[in-house]
Amino acid sequence: MSLKVAVQMDPLETIKIAGDSTFALMMAAQSRGHTLYEYGPGDLSYDRGQVRALARPVTVRAEQGDHFTAGEQEVIDLGDDIDVVLMRQDPPFDLAYITATHLLERIAHRTLVVNDPAAVRNAPEKLFVLDYAQFMPATLITRKLDEVRAFQAEHGEIVVKPLYGNAGSAVFHVGRADKNLAALIELFGEVWREPFMVQAFLPDVSEGDKRIVLVDGVPTGAINRLPKSGEIRSNLAAGGAAHATELTPKEREICDVLGPELAARGLIFVGIDVIAGHLTEINVTSPTGIVAIDRFNGTDTPGLIWDAIEKRIAARG
């Protein structure tokens, strides 16, 4: 099976290929004989029923700084000319991101979009996870200081974070007696129009925040991300370090419950975050971590993702 693949992503020039999941997916696609195009979300357009992109044909190679060759930009019809679109630009999950999902949804009946754009739109990381509250730490979503104070009085140390942030940005640990809570809530209210998330602090975060990858609903590997000294954030983008790990029985239970729904929604590549047996996020917009997982485990997660994509393409006839 030879496919034409368009990757909607951040500029190829800016990525660090050593740990980049999108680049790993592109390398795997190319090794299977698939043709690659690259474009940014700002290159999308709609005209009389057609969704187009101003894209570059590219070939990729594992040489940082000389990791791709691009041809001249051309207009491609994503509905007629392309078999698969990988929606892989980084969040924030804002109106621009949502608009891209609306445009891509219009061609999803002809072209396989990974992950499914309507499902991505309806499953923001810190809200979709509320469907599985039985696995979560105590959680509050609000804009009201008095509600945060009451939550803190009940749970002690808390974590405050924006609903649509990414890579650990603007995540605050607030101690029981911290006198900055009111100022912090005021700041969140000025910077973001939407509510924010407050969760009971999990002290075991010092032992790691586990990223588990599911491919078409099946867990395929995990890494344990440890925060650097003096930090609570274990995101690799925030300086966390990846370590090899295995799934616990509790984590397998979480995956068993989530997996069928993820597959049914067309969420082929998903990363969930688990701290001390508590589910904290379900990442569907542009999950990462597969390069580190494969390095530790000797697995081929990009290959598994392409197996799942090709199976879905074949099922479409």
Question: If residue 245 lies in a helix (H) or strand (E), which one and from where to where?
Answer: none
Phi-psi group of 272: left, alpha or beta (phi > 0 → left; psi -120 to 50 → alpha; rest → beta) = beta
The active-site residue out of 38, 225, 251, 265 is 225
User: CA of 117: how far to CAs of 62, 101, 258, 269, 299, in Å?
Assistant: 29, 5, 19, 13, 28
Tell me the angle at which helices 21-31 and 301-316 cross, rounded to the nearest 10 degrees: 60
Q: Is 273 labeled as catalytic in the residue annotation?
A: yes
70 Cβ partners below 8 Å, 6+ apart?
12, 38, 56, 57, 58
* Residue whose C-alpha is closest to residue 306's, from 69, 86, 62, 43: 86
* Residue whose C-alpha is closest to residue 6's, from 42, 34, 47, 45: 34
Report the distance separating Cα 272 and Cα 279, nearest Å: 7
The active-site residue out of 38, 83, 116, 273 is 273
Q: Could you count the other beta carbons within 10 Å of the beta carbon of residue 144?
A: 12
8 A C-beta contact, residue 213 and residue 290: yes
Q: Is 56 labeled as catalytic in the residue annotation?
A: no
The active-site residue out of 166, 224, 235, 283 is 283
Q: Is 144 labeled as catalytic in the residue annotation?
A: no
The active-site residue out of 52, 56, 126, 265 is 126
Q: Which two tokens stand for residue 130?
A: 């509320």
The active-site residue out of 233, 235, 265, 294 is 233
Q: Is 225 labeled as catalytic in the residue annotation?
A: yes
Q: Which two tokens stand for residue 165?
A: 């942030």
Instruction: Give the DSSP letter of residue 246.
Output: -
Q: Is 126 labeled as catalytic in the residue annotation?
A: yes
User: CA of 33: how far to CAs of 3, 37, 68, 191, in Å?
Assistant: 8, 13, 16, 46
The active-site residue out of 52, 56, 121, 161 is 161
Report the distance separating Cα 102 and Cα 95, nearest Å: 10
The active-site residue out of 211, 216, 235, 251 is 211
Q: Which residues of 206-219 are buried (b: 16+ CB within 10 A; e: fewer)?
A: eebbbbbbbbbbeb
Active-site residues, by number, are 126, 161, 211, 225, 233, 273, 281, 283
